[in-house]
Amino acid sequence: MATRHVVVLGAGFGGLSAVKHLARDRSVHVTLIDRNNYHLFQPLLYQVATAGLEAPQIAWPIRAILRRYPRVRFWMGNVDSVDPLDKRVWVDGKAISYDYLVVSVGSTSHDYGIPGVRENAIPLKSLGDAMRIRDRVLSAVEEAVRTADPARRRALLTFVVVGGGPTGVELAGALAELKRHVLARDYPEVAFEEIRIVLVEATDRLLGYLSPSLSAYTRRTLEQMGVAVMTSRAVSEVTPFGVCLRDGTFIPSYVVIWTAGVTGIALPGLPAGRNGRIATTPELYIPDLPDIYVVGDLNGLEQDGKTLPQVAPVAMQQGAWAARNILRRIHGKPQLPFRYRDKGNLATIGRKHAVGEVKGLRFSGYLAWLTWLAVHIYYLTGFRNRLMVLSNWIYSYFTYDFAVRVIHHRHQFPCQAEEEAVSAQQMLETPTD
């Protein structure tokens, strides 16, 4: 039997899962393509953003992962487009032919068309985003120490997180821990109560995919930690100086973090549906393009009347299933429909506090927190990373300290004159009767 070439786009959870299953069969050789040379453990990005972990501790070199798979090759580059007719992928201007293609390029932050989000809010989808958030937060506190303007100081010390999903909740909780255990000690010039963390959610509760009781526990815990939780409050605009809500409220802030949603990354040559997601058959291939399989955040498959969530467990299961179906096709066997097996949901809120639902069992508090720690250590790639992350967590737990408080790039915030100029320009542009 001739060896088939399978190209996998994206070295995230879905792409790596597909590669590991394909590599077991001698009838295929695989090319894995990614714009970065590392696999990123995105669930812990928020800890890099809040000075809890170093960036390399949640990233692992792709080539190190692939050492055990001799029939897999890695190509670092940006995917320009896909040519389904000629069965080629264009990467940095060069063509790579395939017999089968697995698309797992993931998602990007979704601004929902809200003015100013892309320009003025920071997403949390990459290591670069996490480093920007950390630099912005620490730079804001340093700037607040030096300013004599009380209004500017208040805006500098107000951190707004938009989005009450797991990323927003975990980030807001981590910022509250940073405020209580680090900023309060490092910056004696700043009063504890001056630092404000605001969490804004458009729906009526946080972590809407969990039960109402766990959502209520999450809100109550965050508020006890000092986070101002604002539910049923949609954002209408993000400016360089704060967040405008639809009810007319304006929250002055120079640090706005956007975790309100994601959309699939579009690839020229492939169809796209709602929120950038591609509709596939239950076997995970595109209906009119049977040699192209889509897994992870980009896949728009529905199950029991609902689109599958854009989370790592879905991507991992779909990646493995797409690989199995490709191998079944190669060996002349019928493909099998995919069905997601929900193993449960976990979200951490802060020190000793988390929530979880596993097979109908709901739990919260210290037990959920320990479970969350164990699960994330288990799935983290690389023994060295597991050891370093665990040691960092132990250090922070006993010392109440976040060790990574280094500003790589100091952020320059708009000055008052610029703010007044923008306000004047907005007034000139406002139509009059």
Active-site residue list: 170
Cβ-in-10-Å burial (0-12, 13-18, 19+) of 306 comes to: exposed
H or E segment and range at residue 224: helix 212-224
Q: Which residues pair with 350 in a beta bridge?
A: 353
Q: Angle 140-120-249 (CA atoms, 0-180°, nearest 5)?
A: 85
152 touches 416 (CB < 8 A): yes
Reading phi first (left if > 0) and then psi (alpha if -120 to 50, else beta), residue 311 is in beta
Within 13 Å of residue 88, how many CA atoms lie on the same side as its CB?
Answer: 9
The two tokens of residue 355 are 């929530």
145 touches 135 (CB < 8 A): no
Identify the CA nearest to 102 among candidates 36, 27, 4: 4
397 touches 373 (CB < 8 A): no
